[in-house]
């Protein structure tokens, strides 16, 4: 399993890459804080570029949704009672003096 480099290792790798860039003749310019690289200012970056067209008129579908809901309510059929599985039940038989005699299985 590969371990992720620590922050110190990442910082050292970045410093080496910057040093190598400067050694090969590159130069680094300082940019004032708050300046954006996007033309038009920092708020331009927050605008959505994908939806650059005009807004289209929306059609309301409340009546369509209401019709669908009404059909759903109408289609519910009353629950039919299924015949229950008749399982035999155990019943205790008593003698004349109230003493238990035996168990009997009865269908109801």
% of the chain residues with pLDDT over 70: 73
- Structure tokens given for 102: 């035996």
Q: Which residues contact 88 (CB under 8 A, 6 or more apart)?
A: 105, 106, 107
Q: How many contiguous H segments (helices) and E segments (strands) does the chain have? A: 2, 2
Q: What is the pLDDT of residue 15?
A: 95
Digit-coded pLDDT (tens) for 23-65? 999 888 888 887 766 666 556 556 666 666 677 788 888 888 8
């Amino acid at each position: 399993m590969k371990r992720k480099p620590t922050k110190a290792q990442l910082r050292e790798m970045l410093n080496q890459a910057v040093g190598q860039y400067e050694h090969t003749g590159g130069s680094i310019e300082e940019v004032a804080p708050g300046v954006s690289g996007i033309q038009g200012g920092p708020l331009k970056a927050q605008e959505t570029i994908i939806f650059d067209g005009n807004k289209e008129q929306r059609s309301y579908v409340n009546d369509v949704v209401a019709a669908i809901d009404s059909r759903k309510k109408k289609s519910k059929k009353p629950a039919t009672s299924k015949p229950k599985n008749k399982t035999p039940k155990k019943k205790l038989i008593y003698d004349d003096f109230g003493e238990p005699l035996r168990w009997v299985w009865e269908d109801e």
